[in-house]
Amino acid sequence: MHLQRLATIDTSVPSTQSTRIVSVDLLRGLVMMLMALDHTREYFSELPFSPEDLSKTFGTLFFTRVITHFCAPVFFLLAGAGAYLAVARGRSLPQVSHFFWTRGLWLVFLELTVLRFAWNFTFASVGLMQVIWALGWSMVAMALIVKLPVRWIAALGVVTIVFHNLLDAIDPALLGNFSGLWMVLHSPGLVSITPGMSFFVAYPLIPWIGVMAAGYAMGALLDRNERRKWILGLGVALTLAFFVLRAINLYGNGKASSSFFLPSTVGPWKVQPSLTLTIIAFFDTLKYPAFSGLSANDPWPCTDCSGVSGWRGRRARARADPPRVRARTLVLLRTPHSSDSRSGNFCGHVIP
């Protein structure tokens, strides 16, 4: 007979076990690290050319840039997924809608004020509307979209991501007084409000609203017990779809005549003088507005990681958030024929 002294679980004390999905938090942390990589390269390399410029770039430089293309889609995707999970955990749709539009307007305000000043320490320069701006307005749009059935939201997200490049042919210059609105919605460019007030839209809204809506629908998969299978399968399928779409080379990467982007980035990719440059050209997709394959595919390799890490996340959560334990001592009387204490087949008594 052997004696063991263990702490006992007191079920009268409520558990503080977290309901967070650890793999999703890991994914958030990963893309933050990648974003830091992009900003570090931008501010400390002092390169006189863009990493996407095929006439000057090289493999290491290009891929430290293109890997950060995952960041914005994942931010938008997880913002939507987090909203669905909040509803699944007990928040009401009016509460989530209120959060979306208030937080969204706050982000837009920060982009127009704090972040604008932080770029050049002056308000005299042209404002640059980037990812915080797009996140904010996408949240405002989602305040209305969340009132739809989840299936409709999923359809809206998928249709927007897949087909928004059909709008590339619309030239803002042909829209007269509505050209500025079209730049905000789909085609990057300089929007002039008054002779002394203008801003440059780098992140048009339509593609990113679609990604956030798709993320909200994806939250329904994350809330399933079998989410690892669904997310991993979806990630693999869409990653393959990216390679097929790029191989076909006929759709989704903007107009080759666009003057705002690097000529080597926009339009169909071409075989280059070296294998390295050809690989670079293949992955040199348009980000502003997002190439259909970029906005559809970029979050999904990350969801592959989320799916693979899901079971590790559950184990990590169990270790990090054990049921609350009240300090008591349990003396176990274990005979050589009994199972160990994990099976529950033991006899004993509690000593206060």
Residues 167 and 287 in one domain: yes
State the Cα torsion 332-336-338-340 to the nearest 10°.
Answer: 60
C-alpha distances out from residue 178 to 141, 160, 174, 181, 297, Å: 20, 21, 9, 5, 31
The pLDDT, as a whole number, for residue 210 is 96
pLDDT exceeding 90 applies to what percent of the chain? 47
Instruction: Specify whether 315 is located in the same domain as 350.
Output: no
Structure tokens at 187: 């085609």
The answer on pLDDT for 50 being more than 70 is: yes
Q: How high is the mean pLDDT of the chain?
A: 80
Tell me, yes or no, whether 227 and 249 share the same domain: yes
Confidence of residue 329 (pLDDT cuts 50, 70, 90): very low
Q: Is the bond preceding residue 94 a cis peptide, omega within 30 degrees? A: no
Helix 310-320 × helix 299-308 angle, to 10°:
60
**Predicted confidence (pLDDT) per residue in 226-243, tens digit:** 888 899 999 999 999 999
Provide the pLDDT for residue 213. Answer: 97
Boundaries of domain holding 344: 1-17+324-352
> Is the pLDDT confidence value at 273 over 80?
yes
Residue 348 has pLDDT above 50, yes or no: no
Is 82 in contact with 219 (CB distance < 8 Å)? yes
Identify whether residues 49 and 74 lie together within a single domain: yes
Does residue 101 sit in the same domain as residue 174?
Answer: yes
Q: Beta strands of 20-138 (E only): which ranges?
A: 127-129
pLDDT on residue 293: 57
Q: What is the mean pLDDT of residues 304-320?
A: 45
pLDDT band at 346 (very low <50, low <70, confident <90, very high): very low
**What is the reported pLDDT for 17?**
55
Same domain, 90 and 230: yes
Residues 337 and 293 in one domain: no
How far is residue 117 from each of residues 122, 124, 127, 135, 265, measured CA to CA in Å? Answer: 5, 9, 9, 19, 30
122-126, 144-148, 217-221, 327-331: which has the minimum mean pLDDT? 327-331
Residue spans of beta strands (DSSP E) within the chain:
2-6, 127-129, 189-194, 197-201, 329-334, 347-351
67, 295 in Cβ contact below 8 A?
A: no
Which DSSP string corresponds to 183-243? HHHTS-EEEEEETTEEEEESS-HHHHHHHHHHHHHHHHHHTSTTHHHHHHHHHHHHHHHHH
State yes or no: pLDDT of 7 exceeds 50. no
pLDDT of 300 reads 52
Residues 6+ apart with CB under 8 A from 258: 266, 267
Q: Are residues 185 and 276 in the same domain?
A: yes
SS3 category, 53: coil
Residues 336, 228, single domain; the answer is: no
pLDDT band at 86 (very low <50, low <70, confident <90, very high): very high
Report the run of H or E that residue 155 belongs to, with start and end: helix 150-163
Supply the pLDDT for residue 219.
Answer: 94
Amino acid at 232: L
Beta-bridged to residue 301, according to DSSP, are none
Domain tally, the chain: 2
170-265-183 Cα angle (round to 5):
30
Q: What is the pTM of this model?
A: 0.79
**What does the pLDDT look like over 138-174, one tens digit per residue?**
999 999 999 999 999 999 999 999 999 999 888 888 8
Indicate if 307 and 166 belong to the same structural domain. Answer: yes
∠ CA(34), CA(37), CA(39), 5° rounding?
Answer: 115
76, 182: one domain: yes
CA separation for the pair 156, 210 (Å, rounded): 7
Query: Where does the pLDDT of residue 301 fall: very low under 50, low under 70, confident under 90, or very high at 90 and above?
Result: low
Are 76 and 54 part of one and the same domain? yes
